[in-house]
């Protein structure tokens, strides 16, 4: 019973579906993809072709069927979980309809585009006693889990605060359909913020208020990727968001997410404690590196500004100690959260990437623009309790019962 497979149907077979297909085929053997569906039939066919190729290569995998539309999947009595990989502004409609058809749902991030939608989805799931969860699941990887353990073990003392920066110039240079990044539910805080804010609440616990200053620097964006090269996107959302999050513990994190800045490096995430500083890996990945600086090591660190010269950056981290990863899943393990939810379904235990966490994160994400527009601090209404840390499980791809 504990190791039974859970039957899943995928709605949306776009850019991110590839890594889900790969990990469902090769890593998470208790997740069985029995059907796929996309508004663009060729994309669903491509997904099926990938799974067929795996099967032909000897991988023990089910080749999914194609549903003509999402309702066909929702009405398939064999399907237990709907995997919602549509665009952010479509999450609410797809998730709501799936829940109303009695299906459990795991959705890509964010849960929904605003609190009204998110709260309604949670209410439906609760009323119908269905599981609802979703990305990001990177916090379940070796990197953030190790950071959480180091903090919980007191390696940097009491937490003073954190600093997170996600700096890039948007996704229109590489994503084949980048328009959604600049429409309702898009922008860097809704797109990349979930990785940072989810990691923050995993490391620092419940948040209680948010202050934000946000803006959009470019009213239009030029697509330079194929196949829409040369097309213009009108920007409807804030694309440069900065602010602070106050945690119930008293810690204060500052965060900046932007699609407006030319930069290399993109991710910066540091947690400051009374007895040291932890450099946290890019929370959009599952692995390391993790660096720890303790007061006794600071003498070895030169006083260089990493912004000045790229060649000085390795020098800047002199004195920091590299921490070993203490958990499994350091490679791209997207679908780990789905596998954990499927395990919960077959065992009755809780799961980590759940709606309580997603809703708290959504409230934080949406509070930056709200605070900026209203010119005042936003007190959060949702409560949050950290989900269980990852447990040792002897077989990679099979989560603990
Ligand atoms: N692209 C990435 O690198 C990436 C990374 C992490 C997370 N995500 C998240 O994954 C989600 C999807 O992003 P993407 O980049 O794959 O987008 P995408 O536009 O490439 O794919 C979305 C797909 O969903 C399909 N779709 C929409 N509504 C549908 C419906 N009702 N029925 C069937 N198909 C439907 C679309 O036709 C499209 O093919 C987003 O929430 C995004 O935030 C994307």
Residues 12-45 have pLDDT tens digits of 999 999 999 999 999 999 999 999 999 999 999 9
Q: Which domains does the chain have, with CATH numbers?
A: 6-137+332-350 (3.40.50.720), 139-323 (3.30.360.10)
User: What was the pLDDT predicted at 308?
Assistant: 47
CA 371 / ligand 1 centre spacing (Å): 29
- Please give the share of the chain, as a percent, with pLDDT higher than 90: 90
Q: Nearest residue CA, atom 21 of ligand 1?
A: 14
pLDDT value at 126 more than 70: yes
CB-CB contact of 6 with 34 (8 Å): no
Is 47 touching ligand 1 by the criterion CB < 6 Å? no
Q: Two tokens at 253?
A: 């994190």
Ligand 1 atom closest to the CA of 135, numbered from 1: 7
Q: Does the pLDDT at position 226 exceed 50?
A: yes
- Number of residues assigned to the chain: 401
Q: Is the CB of 84 under 6 A from ligand 1?
A: no
From the alpha carbon of 86, which atom of ligand 1 is closest?
24
Burial class of residue 29 in the structure, from the number of CB atoms within 10 Å of its CB (0-12 exposed, 13-18 middle, 19+ buried): middle
Which residue out of 86, 89, 334 has the highest number of ligand 1 atoms within 8 Å of its CB and is therefore the one to mutate?
86
**pLDDT score, position 311:** 54
Report CA(30)–ligand 1 centroid distance (Å).
Answer: 24
Given a cut of 80, is residue 303 above it in pLDDT? no
* Residue range 88-99, pLDDT digits in tens: 999 999 999 999
The average confidence (pLDDT) of the chain is 94
Task: Decide: 90 in ligand 1 pocket, CB within 6 A.
Answer: yes
The tens digit of pLDDT for each residue in 167-179 reads 999 999 999 999 9
Ligand 1: which atom is nearest the Cα of residue 37? 33
pTM, two decimal places: 0.96
pLDDT at residue 342 tops 70? yes
Report the first-to-last Cα separation within the chain, whole angstroms.
10
Per-residue confidence (pLDDT) for residue 317, from 0 to 100: 75
Sign of CA dihedral 139, 141, 143, 149: positive
At residue 314, the pLDDT reads 63
Report the DSSP pairing between strands 159-167 and 267-273.
Answer: antiparallel
Beta carbon of 112 within 6 Å of any ligand 1 atom? no
Q: What spacing in Å lies between the alpha carbon of 89 and ligand 1's midpoint?
A: 10
In the reported structure, the alpha carbon of residue 176 is separated from the centroid of ligand 1 by a whole-number distance in angstroms of: 11
Whose alpha carbon is nearest atom 3 of ligand 1?
Answer: 16
In ligand 1, the atom with minimum distance to the C-alpha of 93 is: 31
177 Cβ closer than 6 Å to some ligand 1 atom: yes
The rounded Å distance from CA 181 to ligand 1 centre is 11
CA distances for 106 relative to 121, 135, 197, 198, 263, angstroms? 12, 8, 19, 16, 33
């Amino acid at each position: 019973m504990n190791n039974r497979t859970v039957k899943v149907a995928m709605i949306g077979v776009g850019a991110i579906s590839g890594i889900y297909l790969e990990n469902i085929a090769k890593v998470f053997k208790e997740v069985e993809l029995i059907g796929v569906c996309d508004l663009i039939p060729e994309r669903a066919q491509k997904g099926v072709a990938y799974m067929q190729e795996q099967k032909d290569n000897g991988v023990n995998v089910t080749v999914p069927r194609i549903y003509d539309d999402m309702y066909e999947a929702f009405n398939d009595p064999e399907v237990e979980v709907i995997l919602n990989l549509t665009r952010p502004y479509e999450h609410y409609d797809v998730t709501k309809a799936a829940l109303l058809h009695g299906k459990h749902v795991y959705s890509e991030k964010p849960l929904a585009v605003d609190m009204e939608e998110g709260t309604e989805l949670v209410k439906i799931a609760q009323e119908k006693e269905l599981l609802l969860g979703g990305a990001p699941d990177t916090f379940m990887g070796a990197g953030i889990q190790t950071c959480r353990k180091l903090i919980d073990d007191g390696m940097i003392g009491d937490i003073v605060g954190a600093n997170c920066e996600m700096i890039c110039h948007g996704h229109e240079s590489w994503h084949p359909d980048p328009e959604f990044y600049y429409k309702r539910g898009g922008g860097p805080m809704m797109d990349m913020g979930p990785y940072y804010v989810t990691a923050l609440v995993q490391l620092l616990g419940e948040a209680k208020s948010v202050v934000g200053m946000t803006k959009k620097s470019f009213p239009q964006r030029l697509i330079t990727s194929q196949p829409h090269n040369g097309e213009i996107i009108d920007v409807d959302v804030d694309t440069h968001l900065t602010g602070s999050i106050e945690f119930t513990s008293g810690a204060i994190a500052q965060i900046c997410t932007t699609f407006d800045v030319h930069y290399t490096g993109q991710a910066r995430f540091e947690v400051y404690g009374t007895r040291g500083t932890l450099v946290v890996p890019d929370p959009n990945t599952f692995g390391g590196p993790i660096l720890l600086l303790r007061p006794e090591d600071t003498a070895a660190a030169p006083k260089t500004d990493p912004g000045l010269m790229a060649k000085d950056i390795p020098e800047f981290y002199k004195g920091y100690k590299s921490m070993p990863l203490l958990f499994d899943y350091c490679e791209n393990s997207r679908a780990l959260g789905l596998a954990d939810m499927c395990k919960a379904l077959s065992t009755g235990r809780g799961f980590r990437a759940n709606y309580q966490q997603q809703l708290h994160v959504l409230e934080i994400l949406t509070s930056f623009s709200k605070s900026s527009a209203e010119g005042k601090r936003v007190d959060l209404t949702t409560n949050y309790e950290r989900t269980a840390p990852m447990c040792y499980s002897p077989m990679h791809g099979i989560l603990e019962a």
